[in-house]
Structure 1
């Protein structure tokens, strides 16, 4: 007697959970998505509930994308989501083939960092975003606790975006995983917008209904007592019912009852229950199924044939028997185990020694069939075999490619082989070099240092030695050991057989360490010129461009900004238009923005930011972390503080690594926390400012480069002290800018007018005079009068009480388009004019300053300016000038937010909007989130309605 096929029979006791899931799916038609987190023990019904949700969504005509993670398989990065989204080189969708090609072509990079997988995550997230633009979408990841780290990162990112898209992200989870990537994902279940469904055991009534549905009659007392030992687990109950039917141990009439009352115990483990099912399957079929478990929850019959060394026709009968027994089911061109726990039981029933041998055989067979190296590596790892000659040879040859595709898996295999101590020096050198590069790329700097040194002890080839020294130095420097990094480079450079290409690259690295670590500018100049000369002779564009960026740094430190701009332009030209060396090219482009700002070419700096983002988009790095911080700083000085915060918020969401220590340490780092703290303090949001200052309070400043990233933090702390009424402390904190370290690139002139103001407020004439002299020195170093010269006029006019130089500074900032500096200079000009008795002009410049401050939302500056001028009897003449930061409604949107809203209304996807506006995708999503908050809405559909109502002619405009 077959069990009932009535799907309702399987859902006894899950009515409430089904209703919740149905409501979440149905709500997608409004354009509002979210996250459904389903958790529970094995067999409790998570996958079945997920299947019900998929069916509901399919019936409604929604897109349904489903992937299942696998405990026994090591998928490549993004493997689960690639399966879910059907990403492959043979896809008919060019977006999917592009991602597949990007992943398959990945190789370890020699650049300053390797963020390719972070880029791939961005590409996947962008693909989902674009799919959502075509209609409501349900994306399901079953057994998410076993997903690869990159897929987990993508899920975390999708969870934060889902509420603003017609996207329902459904994640099923078995508690108990302690992997860091899983723990980072767990908080999405606690988000206020997430629906969390915890599946517990079925109660007695539900068990009764489930057995009734399965057997076609209500259970008798004996069967009910027997079923109680299944502890309310639906899978155990079904297995029990099926085993009783197969064994003909149950009579079904008015009731369903066990025939033999003595049969009163059910196996306490599911494996024993599965043994009952497997007892009716021929032994040869069971043996074949055990081998198939090694290929994953789903497997291709062709791969099983490769593994068995037999044509598929030879074992087709066994597969048919497994299907008939309910162990396997069809999965399109593949086959799938019906229950993951069936597969687990089969897998675990193999003796450990046999399982290891079969895994090793599988690795050999798959390698011979030219299967992807990560599949071969997964079997090698599962085998536990160490020191096998074939395995070591394969790992030596395939290691670099494997490291590029699955760095964590590669690292585990490489560690295992190296710790077994290969006797062949060449193998030890190759394996060690590959492992060191993997560890450097994944941010494990201390171990990378150890492994690189071990490999250096046995490496023979001069080029390999140069490469390893480069890796070692990068690992040491990134770990905060600058002196050791420089020493390692010097030892390598002493080798007479070092190839010129590597000599040039190591010299360029040394120049950077000399300046950024020790502040030895003279030595860095000599080293960089030497590197440039050798690299040009060797024809190595990377080393030449690297040396030119070193020279850009030196000129920037000396405030020779025009020469600095020339060097960075040469570096960009040297790298050409190829896709190589993405990080170095991005670094040079960011340097160009820095130089343009210092030349007071603000419009050109904005254009350069767009150029950076166009390049990064083409390179697949549209959400680069450094780009976001650079944009945040630029937006700060342009007075677009909401845009600055949107950029910084996007950086906070970025899980990828950064090569820039000031951005990487402990997360987003000093610079972005500093900018955010200053904005919050000037807006008088003191708790927010304090939170940003606390976030980085325990991070030691080690190098000159570290210190260069802390200037906004120092200003934020000074503002906090001033707001607490402690002006002497505020002055002391800014006084740190007067102690410029050798080789330091910090632009002290931009903070010195504030220092002069505080010094005069506490009557510290000495500090004020020192600040003026420091600013004049910076101005004198400029090849053409620019930003430092204007700051010097500002400082001198404020110190001397002379409005003439202050007017000159104001005129410069007005022409250059520097509103933040303009507002501050106007405030101080107003104070000086009031002291001189020029009340009318003082009131006019005060009004202009307050109008500008209001545009930034700088409530603290408005109060301070008003109080300073009131002391001289001058009050605001423009009563309407207030902080222009309406909290709600269309008028509360910033210009950038209005443009984004209009593009949303026009049906543009997030990646499309980001590209057209030269934003990162995450920054665009942040803007959308803020638009929704200001409009009091939850979906893009509602944004579109608001846009059509507020600006109907703007929706179709070309933004």
Structure 2
């Protein structure tokens, strides 16, 4: 029974204990959930959850306990990494922590925190395949934002994992991100612990004192306001002071030694320790609620052997407790009392000395910074340079920026303010401050620092770093034109042998603005300069930009030879990891432009996986959007909807999110799904800020929406706007046939003729199947020529693009019907209808039926077998495969690797499977799948 060990502290918690038993029973059976336990300090939250943890261990579950405190708030994921340190897996938290400490230079696109988050989520997935997992996060009110966000993502997956996520928190401070996390937990799974009643206090005093309490003892206990910690500390203090007497079965308080507050009761407990014990505990209080003995040895200047007798004394006195591989204060309030009794000035000086001691001992940058932050908190002497801290930031600051930009920012601000502008450390640290602000999500603050620094920084390499940061910030805010102006101004100044680097940045910015011809010219100039300087970094980026330009122009033949050259540079230059990812994504896009989907789709999947692993969110978003688009074009619409990842609430680049929403809107418009309007509205909100970058990509979805609303003229206008002045051949090629069809429907012969001319000139001498299809498709629509339309359909078939093939077949059937060949019309109508059926394109099916009935073709094909909305028959082929792999005991990361999907995509598939089969856990999926083994084997 879990009450036995914690019996006194759990008095009055029977109802909560019964509820927590339900949690553990469900977890042991494979059903996960998320819970929150709230209450004031000392009310018994942690005690309740430790009892739950003991019962979970007895039930065969794995238990991990994370503790947050004020000192950890600026350090992303630190509580979770510490909690999972003992996880029995190959790629554990130590590897994730090392990833977080990797240097990250401006412009490389890598977000170490995002990469670490993905690894942590994969780690939890993997742990859940071994045995059910209980993850407790104590003092959640002090958690860093990345930890809260990670917990939020875990909460959204507990329905498909044997995972119990338990947050333990005080009512205040109650932040916005914690409010959102709380809302994601079901009301029935939120437990609020209240003060004990008088009768419950009396029972607790009786247990703690060893006898029935007398009137005076009860009167003193009433001053604890029902707080269990205060009650037990009060009774212990009275006992230690000899102020309890026992007569028969009654215990009474005597004397005057009675603590007047909880803080006084805790202080009384510590006073009974030896002087060395109290001194050592104050040093431990600097390190937080949980601390390692090795770090305590560094800070105290004593050996571990010297510390052990004093630590044993503190454990026996009930001040410290063992916490897996570390030690911890028995309650955060004990640590707080020790910490706050030190004068602020003494505390700050001791923190600074602790930071130096940890740095000398080789502690990671974030552990050192954890001591530096409170050392200077509230210190207004910002103009006084701390030479040691400045030098430490010069030596270590880039690693700190990569690991914990929020912690780096106040330290860098102090250092920058303390050193005159123009002095080397000042300019270097100003660059790092701008980078830290950008990485922390403060694009406006980063732009302000970078803009200010550009007024006085003269060193060329620092100028390049500042412009990279500034351009990224302004691009995020839709201010690419301003970034371009700043770059042109900088290029007019003395840059020496770094000028070609800014030319590369200018070329990339021009690409963002859709000015492809000019971008290509600038990239060519940058390439010449980089080649003369022997700058492989700039050579790689210049080639990458030229490839992007050629790909967007539709010149795949010219782009392909450049890839080998660019990749050979990127693979040998450590600073070009981001470019390497970009090249792989663009190569996949070029292969798709050549209709080589069998190669393009695996290539972009591989690029996405690599971007996911290193935390490059920009490239991840680009790869994800491209994959969704390719799956849409190849007719794999169910997979495309799963891939675009609309419901994960993961922060994404605005352009990637806009394109994802556009893909989903296109599919759902074709399927007659009402949610398409919401997706398109959200996409248009992004497009309003992003401008020409995405206008062409959204044109088809917007046109479909207008056509379905009954306005073919507005639909045509949307397509024409999407093609207006764009230099992107591939995007335009996909709009020409639809625009021609709409122009003919509204009787706009002039526009139709213009579109045909554009299609024929665009095709040129290309031998790419879909390029060969567009011109006869458009000409066939204008001339009502079934032969041309059928030729287009054949080219689309060779291209592996089913939707335009069905549209061409539909148009050919209509042209034959107009000529009176109803037999031929029915044949091609039936073919088109079959393709639309496979795609699930309900709107196209209804439109096609109506059109052919108007020609008197009353009897169309037999009604297709509609996919069920629920049950095994409702699963898509991919979902069926995922269900089979779940039955084999694979984790989501393992399934992702096996099927070349992302872990988040697998989560989406598992969620769909649970909903369609009306199941509640992966265990139930496995049970259901085992009954259909033959079907799964056939799907695989």
Q: TM-score range by the shorter chain?
A: over 0.9
CA contact (8 A) 1:115 1:657 kept: no
Q: How does 1:149-298 map to 2 (within 5 A)?
A: 149-177=145-173, 179=175, 181-190=177-186, 195-253=189-247, 256=250, 258-259=252-253, 267=260, 269-282=261-274, 285-298=277-290
Q: After TM superposition, give the deviation of residue 333 of structure 1 in Å.
A: 5.3
Q: After TM superposition, give the deviation of residue 24 of structure 1 in Å.
A: 1.4
Q: TM-score, normalised by structure 2?
A: 0.92
Tell me which residue corresponds to 2:747: 763
Q: How does 1:658-807 map to 2 (within 5 A)?
A: 658=653, 661-663=654-656, 668=657, 670-686=658-674, 688-699=675-686, 701=688, 706-741=691-726, 743-744=727-728, 747-780=731-764, 783-807=766-790
Deviates more, 1:609-618 or 1:57-66: 609-618
| Whole-angstrom distance in 1 between the partners of 2:882 and 2:272 | 63
| Whole-angstrom distance in 2 between the partners of 1:889 and 1:35 | 27
Deviates more, 1:416-425 or 1:321-330: 416-425
Structure 2 residue runs without a partner (length 5+): none
Tell me which residue corresponds to 1:488: 486
Tell me which residue corresponds to 1:928: 910
Tell me which residue corresponds to 1:62: 61
Q: After TM superposition, give the deviation of residue 424 of structure 1 in Å.
A: 6.9
Q: How does 1:424-463 map to 2 (within 5 A)?
A: 425-463=423-461
Q: After TM superposition, give the deviation of residue 419 of structure 1 in Å.
A: 3.9
Aligned residues: 931
CA contact (8 A) 1:900 1:913 kept: yes
Tell me which residue corresponds to 1:324: 316
After superposition, the Cα gap between the structure-2 partners of 1:724 and 1:934, relative to the gap in structure 1 and judged at 3 Å, is same
How large is the Cα RMSD of the aligned pairs?
A: 2.9
CA contact (8 A) 2:100 2:113 kept: no
Deviates more, 1:27-36 or 1:10-19: 27-36
Q: After TM superposition, give the deviation of residue 845 of structure 1 in Å.
A: 2.0
After superposition, the Cα gap between the structure-2 partners of 1:748 and 1:331, relative to the gap in structure 1 and judged at 3 Å, is same
Deviates more, 1:312-321 or 1:848-857: 312-321
Q: After TM superposition, give the deviation of residue 8 of structure 1 in Å.
A: 2.1
CA contact (8 A) 1:794 1:805 kept: yes
| Whole-angstrom distance in 2 between the partners of 1:497 and 1:577 | 26
| Whole-angstrom distance in 2 between the partners of 1:733 and 1:541 | 43
Q: How does 1:246-645 map to 2 (within 5 A)?
A: 246-253=240-247, 256=250, 258-259=252-253, 267=260, 269-282=261-274, 285-311=277-303, 318-331=310-323, 334-384=326-376, 385=379, 386=382, 387-420=385-418, 422=420, 425-496=423-494, 498-499=496-497, 502-517=498-513, 519-576=514-571, 580-613=575-608, 615-616=610-611, 624-645=620-641
Q: After TM superposition, give the deviation of residue 340 of structure 1 in Å.
A: 0.3
| Whole-angstrom distance in 2 between the partners of 1:184 and 1:778 | 51
| Whole-angstrom distance in 2 between the partners of 1:707 and 1:203 | 66
After superposition, the Cα gap between the structure-2 partners of 1:381 and 1:463, relative to the gap in structure 1 and judged at 3 Å, is same
CA contact (8 A) 1:123 1:620 kept: no
Tell me which residue corresponds to 1:917: 899
CA contact (8 A) 1:844 1:877 kept: no
| Whole-angstrom distance in 1 between the partners of 2:4 and 2:812 | 84
Residue of 123, 135, 153 corresponding to 1:139: 135
Deviations 1:520-566 (A, max 9, x none): 44432221112222333444443223222222233234332222333
Establish whether residue 907 from structure 1 lines up as the match of residue 889 from structure 2.
yes
| Whole-angstrom distance in 2 between the partners of 1:279 and 1:102 | 41
Q: TM-score, normalised by structure 1?
A: 0.91
Deviations 1:840-899 (A, max 9, x none): 2222222222222222222111111111111111245322325x3311122211111111
| Whole-angstrom distance in 1 between the partners of 2:681 and 2:936 | 43
Deviations 1:570-599 (A, max 9, x none): 423432377653322222222122222222
Deviations 1:632-656 (A, max 9, x none): 111111222221111112x652635
After superposition, the Cα gap between the structure-2 partners of 1:580 and 1:930, relative to the gap in structure 1 and judged at 3 Å, is farther
For residue 160 of structure 2, give the secondary structure of its aligned residue in structure 1. coil
Residue of 824, 827, 836 corresponding to 1:844: 827
For residue 130 of structure 2, give the secondary structure of its aligned residue in structure 1. coil
Structure 1 residue runs without a partner (length 5+): none
Deviations 1:221-241 (A, max 9, x none): 444444333232221222222
CA contact (8 A) 2:634 2:801 kept: yes
| Whole-angstrom distance in 2 between the partners of 1:253 and 1:768 | 106
CA contact (8 A) 1:30 1:939 kept: no
Deviations 1:158-183 (A, max 9, x none): 22222211122222122334555545
| Whole-angstrom distance in 2 between the partners of 1:229 and 1:908 | 55
For residue 197 of structure 1, give the secondary structure of its aligned residue in structure 2. strand
CA contact (8 A) 1:731 1:759 kept: yes
CA contact (8 A) 1:28 1:167 kept: yes
CA contact (8 A) 2:359 2:368 kept: yes
CA contact (8 A) 1:596 1:602 kept: yes
After superposition, the Cα gap between the structure-2 partners of 1:165 and 1:951, relative to the gap in structure 1 and judged at 3 Å, is same
Q: After TM superposition, give the deviation of residue 338 of structure 1 in Å.
A: 0.8
| Whole-angstrom distance in 2 between the partners of 1:442 and 1:958 | 45
Q: After TM superposition, give the deviation of residue 262 of structure 1 in Å.
A: 9.0
CA contact (8 A) 2:6 2:47 kept: no
Deviations 1:317-336 (A, max 9, x none): 54444333311223455432
Residue of 637, 644, 647 corresponding to 1:648: 644
Establish whether residue 871 from structure 1 lines up as the match of residue 839 from structure 2.
no
| Whole-angstrom distance in 1 between the partners of 2:804 and 2:917 | 32
For residue 812 of structure 2, give the secondary structure of its aligned residue in structure 1. helix
After superposition, the Cα gap between the structure-2 partners of 1:426 and 1:777, relative to the gap in structure 1 and judged at 3 Å, is same
For residue 709 of structure 1, give the secondary structure of its aligned residue in structure 2. helix
Deviates more, 1:711-720 or 1:445-454: 711-720
| Whole-angstrom distance in 2 between the partners of 1:21 and 1:728 | 62
Deviates more, 1:151-160 or 1:114-123: 151-160
For residue 72 of structure 1, give the secondary structure of its aligned residue in structure 2. helix
| Whole-angstrom distance in 2 between the partners of 1:561 and 1:423 | 49
CA contact (8 A) 2:72 2:143 kept: no
Deviations 1:807-861 (A, max 9, x none): 0111111222211222222222222222222212222222222222222222111
| Whole-angstrom distance in 1 between the partners of 2:387 and 2:556 | 58
CA contact (8 A) 2:816 2:825 kept: yes
Deviations 1:607-639 (A, max 9, x none): 322442464477576993322222111111122
Tell me which residue corresponds to 1:892: 874
For residue 171 of structure 1, give the secondary structure of its aligned residue in structure 2. strand
After superposition, the Cα gap between the structure-2 partners of 1:876 and 1:612, relative to the gap in structure 1 and judged at 3 Å, is farther
